[in-house]
Amino acid sequence: MRMDVVTIFPEYLEPLDVSLVGKARARGQLDVRVHDLRAWTHDRHHTVDDTPYGGGPGMVMKPEPWGEALDAVLASGGSGDGGPVLVVPTPSGRPFTQELAVELAARPWLVFTPARYEGIDRRVIDDYAARCDVREVSIGDYVLAGGEAPVLVMVEAIARLLPGVLGNAESHRDDSFAPGAMAGLLEGPVYTKPPVWRGREVPEVLVSGHHGRIGRWRRDEALRRTSENRPDLVAGAEPEAFGTHDRATLAELGWEPGPDGRFGRSSRPVEE
């Protein structure tokens, strides 16, 4: 997979040389190219921003450097791969989710446009949206100073899904948000050796060797954690997502099915 990043802070992307993404690059599984936006400016000060039309605080990134940079990056791609997906980090974009990471991981080429200041002149997004797949994406409901950290987040989430990048291909099977058996649930707690640490024991079931019981325990813990930390996921789940045992666990956690079958918090007090 190829990824291009256009930024005014190329050094901010240096973590892409480290750990999982760095190794994937070294092995040739991931071709990451970082470009300095200022290379496409033509004035002495390498200006990339200007005051906003209509007034107001802050500065806006000028369209000309972005247009030249993106034209050059797009022109460097081969034909026949359907063109890149342009990923535009912005707090006003659609949420970046595991589902979107899976979708983007299946594409051969992503181009990221992390901005600074108040963002990029809108005409740039509109211009490229007319000829390629543009995704405006937010990594969360907060505002950072720039899009480089969101790019690091997205690249890592996408890269670990690429075939052969994780040592054990099964590693992301049970992740929180992963499609599959635990779909829609957060992952429960995990343990390793030693069996006792500071007087705290590993749950007995995990050392029982009984795969059926272990699987059930893991699912109950996932239900417990999801109920506690992300009740919106329980409330939004399709009723068919929960089997008989799940329903008993959810009842213990204070959930009951409503008239449409979806679960909501029960009004009756839960007995200990």
* Residues of the shown chain interacting with ligand SAM in the complex, contacts defined by CB under 6 A: 89-92, 114-116, 118-119, 138-140, 142-147, 150
d(CA 70, CA 161): 26
What are residue 3's DSSP bridge partners? Answer: 32, 110
What's the alpha-carbon Rg for the chain, to the nearest Å?
A: 23
- Token reading at 231: 């009740």
Return all residues near 76 (Cβ < 8 A) that are at least 6 apart.
Answer: none
- Residue 65 C-beta: closest distance to ligand SAM, Å: 15
Residue position matching structure tokens 């029982």:
208
**CB nearer to ligand SAM: pick between 10 and 264:** 10
- Residue 113 C-beta: closest distance to ligand SAM, Å: 8
The separation between CA 29 and the C-alpha centre of its own chain, rounded to angstroms, equals: 19
**CB nearer to ligand SAM: pick between 92 and 244:** 92
- Between the two ends of the chain, the Cα-to-Cα distance in Å is 52
Residue 202's φ and ψ, nearest 5 degrees, are -70, 140
- Token reading at 223: 């239900």
- Token reading at 205: 């079931």
**CB nearer to ligand SAM: pick between 73 and 115:** 115
Do the Cβ atoms of 6 and 113 come closer than 8 Å? Answer: yes
- Residue 141 C-beta: closest distance to ligand SAM, Å: 7
- Residue 28 C-beta: closest distance to ligand SAM, Å: 29
d(CA 263, CA 236): 8
**CB nearer to ligand SAM: pick between 98 and 138:** 138
- Token reading at 228: 């506690």
d(CA 178, CA 163): 15
The residues annotated with a catalytic role in the active site are 91, 118, 160, 175
Residue type, 16: L
DSSP codes of every residue in 165-177: TSSSTTTTTTSTT
- Residue 211 C-beta: closest distance to ligand SAM, Å: 41
Residue position matching structure tokens 């990029």:
120
Q: Which residue is nearest to ligand SAM (CB)?
A: 147
- Residue 47 C-beta: closest distance to ligand SAM, Å: 17
**CB nearer to ligand SAM: pick between 52 and 254:** 52
**CB nearer to ligand SAM: pick between 9 and 217:** 9
